Structure 1
Amino acid sequence: MDHEAVGTAGLGRLHVDVTRHGRSTVLTPSGELDHHTAEVLAEPIAAAVDAGATRLVVDCSGLEFCDSTGLNVLLGARLRVEELGGEVHLAAMRPTVSRVFEITGAEAVFTVHATLEEALRE
């Protein structure tokens, strides 16, 4: 499998690693995704899509918190990628993050995987 490090972004409470796995661009946010840190994830997502990525996998295993602003970043990414014929997958959500998706109903509009490996197999 092709695995290439693409870059990183960070701002105190949130750090995002970006890698390539075959045809997938994997974004791995670690820390807290909220109003103050949302751009730390939004910027690498936009850069990946601008570079032609149409299959994004967000590895949520290191995401400790996500508020409505963070959720909106992911929903916006989904809309933009789907307009290009692509898809956004979420993987390995912790219970506290998963609960935000359950409460808002957002889990119904994403393909959610139990593990990153599962998300990359499809």
Structure 2
Amino acid sequence: MDRGMPGATSRGRLTVDVRQQAGSAVVTPEGELDHHTADLFSEALEQAIAGGGSRLVVDCTGLAFCDSTGLNVLLGARLKAEAAGGGVHLAAMQPVVARVFEITGAGAVFTIHDDLDSALANVAEA
């Protein structure tokens, strides 16, 4: 695993790790993504995009909760990544997080994968 970007940062109920893996920036939030922690997540996504990571994979394995603020951060990152010629892929969403995407219809604008490996393989082919 190539760790070309700085590691984890934490704020209260959320920890975010940013790393390079298989040619993509992998952002891994763990905990609760809400209006109290969205700034930390947004900063990590900005760091990944600024570091040349227009191909983002968000590994949601450890994301226990995501509200509309977190969803808006992801939508903003998607626009920035696409403007840089890339995109945002989401991997391994827990049911409670997937429900937010289902209810809002946001799942239609992201590529969602069952696990991190399939997301990385799909991004590599793009």
Indicate whether the TM-score tops 0.5: yes
Q: CA deviation at 1:3?
A: 2.4
Q: CA deviation at 1:13?
A: 0.1
Which residue number corresponds to residue 28 of structure 2? 28
Q: Normalising to structure 1: TM-score of the pair?
A: 0.95
Q: Is the aligned partner of 1:108 residue 2:82?
A: no
Which residue number corresponds to residue 96 of structure 2? 96
Name structure 2 gaps, 5 residues minimum: none
Q: How does 1:13-92 map to 2 (within 5 A)?
A: 13-92=13-92
Q: CA deviation at 1:72?
A: 0.3
Counterpart code for 2:27 = L
Distance 1:16 1:117 in 2: 19
Instruction: Give the share of equivalent positions with the same residue, in percent.
Output: 60
Distance 1:62 1:117 in 2: 15
Distance 2:29 2:97 in 1: 12
- Partner of 1:71: helix, strand, or coil? helix
Q: CA deviation at 1:49?
A: 1.0
Distance 2:30 2:46 in 1: 18
Q: Normalising to structure 2: TM-score of the pair?
A: 0.92
Q: CA deviation at 1:50?
A: 1.3
Counterpart code for 2:70 = G
Which residue number corresponds to residue 2 of structure 2? 3
Q: CA deviation at 1:5?
A: 5.6
Aligned length: 121
Counterpart code for 2:61 = S
Question: CA RMSD, aligned part only?
Answer: 1.0
Name structure 1 gaps, 5 residues minimum: none
- Partner of 1:61: helix, strand, or coil? coil
Q: Where do 4+ consecutive residues of structure 1 move more than 6 Å?
A: none
